[in-house]
């Protein structure tokens, strides 16, 4: 009797855990939507701060500069981290731009100019 109780508990726990994991996976695959306001704010920030290296409207980045049109839409944490803290020859932006502004830049890069 005790054993059955134990097994039932284990089953319930593992069902709980797998439900949790699949919800997390779903959240990552969720289609991201950005408001026109975010995208427009990002466009302005981009032309003021980023276009000098990454190219006007993300087109024709200079040699050695990441082509932002190829940035993977599902890697938001990578974007926030690289832009905040810099990467190799890209300077960090966290003392210049707020996290909100960097979020708007992400909206612009993913959903802004036609690809
Ligand atoms: C001084 C030139 C310069 C400026 C200005 C600049 N970047 Fe970069 N950026 C780079 C270079 C160089 C790389 C490639 C870094 C590497 O992978 O070695 C890069 C890479 C990136 C990447 C890819 C990072 C990754 O994880 O691979 C993103 C995203 C990015 N830049 C966004 C921005 C944004 C947004 C701005 C404006 C706030 C900006 N950059 C301004 C030079 C610049």
Same domain, 68 and 99: yes
DSSP string, 15-76: HHHHHHHHHHHHHHHSPP---HHHHHHHHHHHHHHTHHHH-GGG-SPPTTS--GGG--TT-H
Same-domain check for residues 23 and 48 = no
Does the C-beta of 53 come closer than 6 Å to ligand 1?
yes
pLDDT of the residue at 29 = 56
**Residues 9 and 25 both lie in one domain:** yes
In tens, the pLDDT along 12-36 reads 555 555 555 555 554 555 668 999 9
Within 10 A of 83 (CB to CB), how many other CB atoms are there? 24
pTM of the model: 0.80
Is any atom of ligand 1 closer than 6 Å to the C-beta of 101? no
- Tens of pLDDT, residues 34-76: 999 999 999 999 999 999 999 999 998 888 899 999 999 999 9
The boundaries of the domain holding residue 7 are: 1-30
Answer yes or no: do 84 and 44 share one domain. Answer: yes
Considering the domain architecture, whether residues 90 and 45 belong to the same structural domain is answered as yes
Q: What is the whole-number distance in angstroms between the Cα of residue 26 and the centre of ligand 1?
A: 29
Answer whether residue 87 shows pLDDT above 80.
Answer: yes
């Amino acid at each position: 009797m005790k054993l059955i109780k134990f097994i039932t508990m284990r089953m319930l726990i593992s069902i709980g855990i797998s439900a949790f994991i699949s919800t997390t996976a779903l959240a990552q695959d969720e289609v991201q939507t950005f408001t026109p306001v975010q995208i427009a704010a990002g466009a302005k920030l981009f032309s003021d701060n980023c276009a000098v290296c990454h190219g006007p409207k993300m087109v024709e980045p200079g040699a050695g500069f990441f082509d932002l049109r190829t940035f993977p839409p599902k890697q938001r944490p990578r974007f926030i981290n690289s832009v905040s803290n810099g990467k190799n020859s890209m300077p960090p932006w966290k003392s210049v731009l707020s996290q909100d502004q960097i979020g708007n830049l992400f909206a612009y890069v993913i959903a802004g100019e036609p690809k």
